[in-house]
Structures are given as C-alpha cells and as structure tokens.
A and B are shown apart, each in its own frame.
Chain A
Amino acid sequence: AQSVAQPEDQVNVAEGNPLTVKCTYSVSGNPYLFWYVQYPNRGLQFLLKYITGDNLVKGSYGFEAEFNKSQTSFHLKKPSALVSDSALYFCVERGATNKLIFGTGTLLAVQP
C-alpha cells in the first residue's frame, strides 16, 4: 500500500535558522507529492506540490521542497525560519482516484 513516512514527530529550530522537515514516500514510478500545513484552529493549507520537472519545488510562505528519486524523499525546507511558521506539517502522496494519503505529521516549533 502507498504510504509516506515522516520520521520526526517534532522539529525544533531557532528563528532565523534554516529548517528541514523530512519525508519519504513509497510509491514506485512517478509520485505526485504535496506538503500541507495545519495551524491551530485552522484548516489544512496547501503549501506546494511536485508532479514532474525540477526537483526543487517552490511554494507558499518561502517554503520549498526537494524531490530525490534515488532516496525516495521529498524534504520540506526554508532558508530562514519564522516563529509564525510553527505548525503541524504533513507530507502527502496522491493515491488512486486522487485521494490524498497523509503522513503522521511533524510538529515544527520555532523558538524566538
């Protein structure tokens, strides 16, 4: 079965430092991958997606993700973290009929 793995339950980073949230995927062939963010008391928000093309995908709020086929990874990155980036981040894979398959989420905590 398709799945995505987020090995870190929580990532702590100081404001201004670069951040990375890790994700690995399972589907063979050409995966269709997303990152979504969930802020407290707000709905899930789309950040970025990878379909084909450049391995570095740019998204909202200064986030980007690097697709690595040989490592089956799709890590989320940002050069300089903000306190307001603190939220729950989900790596997501597209399944059949375009339903989304979510990872377990990584809580990002950015300290001032």
Chain B
Amino acid sequence: RKEVEQDPGPFNVPEGATVAFNCTYSNSASQSFFWYRQDCRKEPKLLMSVYSSGNEDGRFTAQLNRASQYISLLIRDSKLSDSATYLCVVNGEDSNYQLIWGAGTKLIIKP
C-alpha cells in the first residue's frame, strides 16, 4: 500500500459545480496534513493546511478523518482557474523531515 494515495482523475467538472476528492494515508501517527495546488510544469503551491477540526478558506474546505485515515478537499462554486493538480501531503513515519506526497488529482473545470 502506498503511504499516500490519491485518485489521479482527471475530474471533469462544469464551472460552478462543487467537487470533492479524498486522499488516504497509511501512517496513523501522522500529524501534519496539507493540500497543495500544482499547475502544469509549475511548482506546487500551498493551498491550505488541514486541521483536526476541519477548516475553510473561501470556497475551499479541508477535512481530516483520523479514524479512516483520509483527508478531503471540497471546492464550491468551481472556477475555470481552479483547473490544476491537487497534491495531498502528509508527514511520514521515517523522519520528522520528510513529507510524503501523493501523486495528485487532476481537476479540469469546463465552461
């Protein structure tokens, strides 16, 4: 089992719709969780950290489910500019310095 797994997609979603995707992780002791956004051939950029109680930033909501070991990202009222690959990141078990990256979920917002 991969340490961090994501559905690669692509998710094809009409503009204005709501879309959600999950990310599962294997290390039950993980404490740090993040969602990054990456545009094609660009560097990843932090979208939001994920907190135990869940958190919201505008149209984006992140949730953590420790019992089932997954985090989720919900995007409401999707915009064309939301088209990107969304990377799930979790701190690993071997080293405090290593973050384990999912391969990403590709999202395509269609007009």
Q: Do A and B bind each other?
A: no
